[in-house]
Structure 1
Amino acid sequence: MNRRLTFAIAAVAALSASGCAYNETLGRNQFLIVDDSALTQQSEAAWAEALRTQRTSTDAAANARIRRVGARIVEAAGLGDRTWDYALFVDQTPNAFVLPSGKIGVTTGLLSLVRNDDQLATVLGHEVGHVVARHAAERYSTSAATSVVLGGVQSAAGDYGKAAGAIGGLGAQLGVLLPFSRNHELEADRLGVDYLQRAGYRPSEAVALWRLMAEQRQGSTPEFASTHPSDASRIAALEQYIASKGWS
């Protein structure tokens, strides 16, 4: 049993050594055992499923607005050479998401919340930032490596494997996966501000947007157990970053 656990840990160590890559945009190393192209099939399937199961808005002006602002952002991010698809989903919850294959979804709730194109550019810049930063591939790689270790723990624990797996899973989630996700969100915030400023939008509106989001939020999850930074942490980080750049 100990040999199984040792093998699992050794396997992850080998993956870590072989999967380390430097991301110049982020200025740090990333653990990547898959690349974005390997996630394209899943991304396309997820996008098709979202379009099939969720209602999309036919508001021509609203859809054109998203595409117009989105085009300026992806050009500023250096990704204008690929095809991007956008969809406006009918949902009152303010939200947006991105898939590494170049798909961006925005809800009608978000579009009604933002007060100007600068704030919409903040959201789209954040989503494009995830793509540039290769966060999807990094998160997938981290999750896969964590699963290998937890599988080894369960094998080594015998009759107690199920309990050990549950406890280990919670520990891994709170200690590794969720904090890492929060770091991704803050990185995407910074990249998004870079892109919206480069595209001619006002960086200060990024802070204004997150203040709006904080005001409309009904409840909150403690930051230590959330995949996103708290609103206060996010706003403070953005204010500091924008000030360091001398932007307004």
Structure 2
Amino acid sequence: MPFTLTKASVAKSFVGLLAASALVGGCAYNEALGRNQFLLVDNAALTQAADQAWADALRTQQVSRDAAANARIRRVGDRLVQAAGLTNIRWDYAVFVEESPNAFVLPSGKIGVTTGLLALVQNDDQLAAVIGHEIGHVVAQHAAERYSSTAVTSIGLQAIQGASGDYGQAVGALGGLGAQLGVLLPFSRQHELEADQLGVDYMVRAGYRASQSIALWRLMAAQRQSQTPEFASTHPSDASRIAALEQYIRSRGYN
């Protein structure tokens, strides 16, 4: 049967070649996670964008000048950085004035926490659970892995949308939702649970109590007004997270 060259066949071949080449060149073993990762980039490749995002946050958001609060997150953070073996990175911390308890990390070694989080945590052990979790994301190269997965999914969906006119666009739109719910969001939940476990390891190495990570998430669960269903959330439900932490802490013999 003769091979017919069509736009659809070209798009399909391109996606297949992209996936094959990515699998050959993009698989890396992460010792901290004990699994292979699909990486088109690494943390170093995201540094410039991360530093720009940090500069933008410092410029556009209200930053707390509370000396005690800033000293506290740096003191706890530096102990955890040492425990994680990441002293080769220059770490920067900032406290953002925001009532909602939250924290974030950028792969270039930038950690932000909110005043709402500092008001919520009851001790440094609980603060260490948060910062340890954020450091865990960096060790696990989750930002790079997330970027890589999203990039390949986006390219594949664009090829499908361009392959068959209006029908292709309709399929692509549905595919976008399917990819989000079936691939990207659950993978992000996996990242969150992995960061929880790494954070607990770093807490213990730094001399903090692992059990306080569970206490922290119980506090977080109690203060939430509403909750997105887990199937449509980038984060595990509080109940899932607490159960996973309890099991992990028992398996490691932590207290």
For Structure 1 versus Structure 2, the TM-score category normalised by the shorter chain is: over 0.9
2:113 alignment partner in structure 1: 106
Partners in 2 of 1:55 and 1:116 — Cα distance? 24
1:8 alignment partner in structure 2: 15
Partners in 2 of 1:196 and 1:239 — Cα distance? 15
Q: What's the secondary structure of 1:142's corresponding residue?
A: helix
Partners in 1 of 2:191 and 2:105 — Cα distance? 13
Q: What's the secondary structure of 2:105's corresponding residue?
A: strand
Partners in 1 of 2:230 and 2:16 — Cα distance? 29
Q: Does 1:39 align with 2:46?
A: yes
Q: What's the secondary structure of 2:100's corresponding residue?
A: coil
2:233 alignment partner in structure 1: 226
Tell me which amino acid in the other structure corresponds to 1:43: A
2:4 alignment partner in structure 1: none
Does the 8 Å contact 2:230/2:236 carry over to 1?
Answer: yes
How far the C-alpha of 1:162 sits from its partner, in A, is 2.6
Tell me which amino acid in the other structure corresponds to 1:178: L
Partners in 1 of 2:56 and 2:88 — Cα distance? 26
Q: Does 1:88 align with 2:95?
A: yes
Equivalent of 1:173 in 169, 180, 204: 180
How far the C-alpha of 1:80 sits from its partner, in A, is 1.7
Partners in 1 of 2:233 and 2:217 — Cα distance? 17
Q: Does 1:194 align with 2:201?
A: yes
Q: What's the secondary structure of 2:194's corresponding residue?
A: helix
Does the 8 Å contact 2:162/2:169 carry over to 1?
Answer: no
1:146 alignment partner in structure 2: 153
Post-superposition CA distance 1:61-99 (Å, at most 9, x none): 010000000000000000123210000000000000000
Q: CA RMSD in A?
A: 0.8
Partners in 2 of 1:52 and 1:100 — Cα distance? 19
Equivalent of 2:71 in 53, 60, 64: 64
Partners in 2 of 1:175 and 1:10 — Cα distance? 22
2:86 alignment partner in structure 1: 79
Partners in 2 of 1:49 and 1:157 — Cα distance? 40
Tell me which amino acid in the other structure corresponds to 2:62: R
Post-superposition CA distance 1:2-32 (Å, at most 9, x none): 2212212321222122101111110000000
Does the 8 Å contact 1:5/1:155 carry over to 2?
Answer: no
Larger Rg: 2
Q: Does 1:158 align with 2:165?
A: yes
2:3 alignment partner in structure 1: none
Partners in 1 of 2:214 and 2:251 — Cα distance? 14
Tell me which amino acid in the other structure corresponds to 2:104: F
Tell me which amino acid in the other structure corresponds to 1:122: A
Tell me which amino acid in the other structure corresponds to 1:156: A
Does the 8 Å contact 2:160/2:169 carry over to 1?
Answer: no
Gaps of 5+ in 2: 1-7
Q: Percent identity?
A: 71
2:247 alignment partner in structure 1: 240
In the alignment of these two chains, the number of paired residues is 248
Partners in 2 of 1:38 and 1:82 — Cα distance? 14
Post-superposition CA distance 1:164-206 (Å, at most 9, x none): 2211110001111000000000000000000000000000000
Q: State the TM-score, normalizing by the size of structure 1.
A: 0.98
Q: State the TM-score, normalizing by the size of structure 2.
A: 0.95
Gaps of 5+ in 1: none
Equivalent of 2:35 in 20, 28, 31: 28
Tell me which amino acid in the other structure corresponds to 2:23: S
How far the C-alpha of 1:158 sits from its partner, in A, is 1.4
1:131 alignment partner in structure 2: 138
